[in-house]
A = this chain, B = another copy of it.
């Protein structure tokens, strides 16, 4: 019984649009500080986890190695991060936030948090809980599956 018509809605598209509505509330804020969405993702994980290697950043931020190469290069040029080789392993690189960037985050964080507050107010507390839970569970269910599909 091969289906001739599309019986399912386009889920990736639905998720894309949903995400667009959310990120749209942060975009002007980041632009104000000349940060791209990707740069802010990286800054956030470096704030929370401390200095990391590109490989780890990519994993945490959902950025591929080629994308990361360019983004980190620009962040380095703009003085947002510092990149240095490991003395004991010349392949690996340590990426850390610059002092200037840490100062910058002090001004941005309150704005980000107040944007989240406004967002939560609009969505409702209970809905937010459901939203995060649903996304977490989706990832969990499909991540387990990815492992099986690899082997």
For residue A87, CB closer than 8 A to chain B, the reply is: no
Given contacts A22-B11, A139-B17, A139-B18, contact A6 B130 (CB under 8 A): no
Contacts of A113 in B (CB 8 A): 3, 6-8
For this chain, the copies found in one complex come to: 2
Q: Tell me, in angstroms, the Cα distance from A8 to B13 when the chains sit together.
A: 25
Chain B contacts of A6 at CB under 8 A?
Answer: 44, 47-48, 109, 112-113
- A49-89 contacts to B, CB under 8 A, are 61-62
Selected A-B contacts with CB under 8 Å, 29 pairs: A3-B110, A4-B110, A5-B109, A6-B48, A7-B113, A7-B116, A10-B41, A11-B119, A11-B132, A12-B19, A12-B37, A13-B62, A14-B132, A14-B135, A14-B139, A15-B22, A17-B62, A18-B139, A19-B19, A20-B62, A21-B138, A21-B143, A24-B142, A122-B142, A122-B145, A123-B138, A124-B141, A130-B134, A131-B134
Chain A residues with CB under 8 Å of chain B are 2-26, 37, 41, 44, 47-48, 61-62, 106, 109-110, 112-113, 116, 119, 122-124, 127, 130-132, 134-139, 141-143, 145-146
